[in-house]
Amino acid sequence: MNNTPSTGLFISFEGIDGAGKSSHIAALAQAFKDAGRTVTLTREPGGTPLAEKLRNLLLHDAMDPLTEALVAFAARRDHLVQVIEPALARGEVVVSDRFTDATFAYQGAGRGFDWEKLQTLERMAQTGSGSNAELMREPDLTIWFDLPAAVAAERLAAARVPDRFEAQPQDFFAAVASGYARRCAAAPKRFARIDAHQPREAVWQQVADVLQARGYLQGVQGAAA
């Protein structure tokens, strides 16, 4: 990819709850800003007023797997149209805490919802959201924080009051992790697997190495606080 200031760049961070993405997302956004890039830092579900309302429903209201998937993709479509595509058209770097891979991991693998139906929804929601009517938007790079479900469960036990996904049992997160592995295997050029069961500084170094190897950032400094 020609990563010039006039070229938009879309990076997503993925991983099961408790994987430790948040501080590294902020650090990466700052690294791009230090390099002179304009950054849109966002999240899914969410990122727009409508999508944030849908996020609240998704995280706290009981619903079946199909409803969960429909709500997630409705929020994603609005997020793409209102935030992501305009930012990319302006040549910005978009860094998102989760994107479509989370839906396949959580609703597909975690809830056991049909993978092919999710792929249909993916094409519907992510095609023609920008100026190119034929383009199905995907991240240029997905940084996957791979962490054993047992370790994630230990981290979540000490966290805030959990939402209805964070409150799921360990075997649910093991299934979610397998969903991420399946998505990674299907798109190895887009994915970069990070061993998240390491000290924070070592995890950040892996992230920095990925960005430098792909030519998106050179001489990445700093670390997650």
User: Is 12 known as a binding-site position?
Assistant: no
Taking the CA of residue 16 as centre, how many other CA atoms within 13 Å lie in the half-sphere pointing to its CB?
A: 32
Using N-to-C axis directions, what is the helix angle for 22-34 and 200-213, rounded to 10°?
Answer: 40
Beta bridge partners of 102: none
Q: Which residues contact 3 (CB under 8 A, 6 or more apart)?
A: 9, 215, 216
CA dihedral angle for residue 42, residue 17, residue 214, residue 208, rounded to 10 degrees = 90
**Residue 209 is assigned to a ligand binding site:** no
Q: Which residues contact 214 (CB under 8 A, 6 or more apart)?
A: 1, 141, 192
Phi-psi region of 38 (alpha: psi -120 to 50; beta: other; left: phi over 0): beta
Residue 18 annotated as binding?
yes
Which residue carries 């979540």 as its tokens?
156
Annotated ligand binding at 15? The verdict is yes
Ligand-binding site membership of 6 (annotated): no
Tokens of 84: 């992501």
Q: What does the alpha-carbon distance between residue 28 and residue 142 come to, in Å, rounded to a whole number?
A: 13
End-to-end CA distance of the chain: 30
What are the binding residues for ATP?
15-22
What are the binding residues?
15-22
